[in-house]
Amino acid sequence: MTVATINPSASNHDAWQDGAGVMELTGSIELNAAARQEQPDAILAINLLGNPNDYDAFPLGVPVLEDNCESMGAKYRGKRCGTFGTMGTHSTFFSHHICTMEGGLITTDDVVYRDMLLALRSHGWTRHLAQDNSLGAKVDKFNFILPGYNVRPTEMQAAIGLEQLKKLDGFIAQRRENASRFPYRTQQEVVGGDIGVGHRGHRGAGVLEHRLVAVAQ
């Protein structure tokens, strides 16, 4: 299986592929040509430091998985990042936009992946699935159908997360206001063109005085 890993960046490096079948592309400029040549089975789109990928450049028909852990609240052409792919990951680690002390979440509109994830987060068992689940699995306390982990959120994490969600828009607005105080050039200013991104300011990677800098949160 070959996975093309995409990172938005001000620079444009050549694609490479190693023995593990992972093809890394920095930016989207060369994505279509590389995808036609390598024919990846999936694209892992990493929205890095608040910068959305150029999703219009993605080849049609290739499944997309999104790592949106550093870009909660970012938009591309008015659509939230993390909702373009089959699944999107979002972090609630303490250094990110909202915090539940630890952990994160996965969003998907595919019921099969949803049910698989419900099992995977809880030891691989079926006890949290609906009786008419998409996997056709018998629901029982100790019916294990998948290799699993113990990554269920605690009630305390959920309570903190719900309160943090109420503040998310304000957090994002403050980050953007902080970023506006620095005279750095953004990814799109360096690469050129306007793709309608909605930067939401994680650490604000940019170019300042011809050097790559990371603006403190």
Determine the average pLDDT of the residues in 73-88.
91
For residue 60, being part of any structural domain is answered with yes
Split at pLDDT 50, 70, 90, the class of 60 is confident
- Among 96, 97, 199, 202, the active-site one is 96
Report pLDDT for 32: 58
User: Is beta strand 16-17 parallel, antiparallel or unpaired with respect to 22-26?
Assistant: antiparallel
Q: What share of the chain in percent tops pLDDT 70?
A: 66
Determine the average pLDDT of the residues in 105-115.
94
Q: Return the sign of the alpha-carbon dihedral for residues 79, 158, 168, 5.
A: negative
The SS3 assignment for 78 reads coil
Q: Are 149 and 171 in contact (CB under 8 A)?
A: no
Owning domain of residue 70: 3-103+184-214
Render pLDDT for 143-180 as a digit per residue (tens, 0 to 9). Answer: 999 998 998 889 999 999 999 999 999 998 888 888 77
One-letter identity of residue 24: E
For residue 10, being part of any structural domain is answered with yes
Q: Are 34 and 54 in contact (CB under 8 A)?
A: no
| Catalytic site includes residue 96 | yes
Count of C-beta atoms within a 10 Å radius of residue 93: 14
Q: How many domains does the chain have?
A: 1
Report pLDDT for 206: 43
The SS3 assignment for 88 reads strand
pLDDT surpassing 90 at residue 28: no
Report pLDDT for 156: 93
For residue 114, being part of any structural domain is answered with no
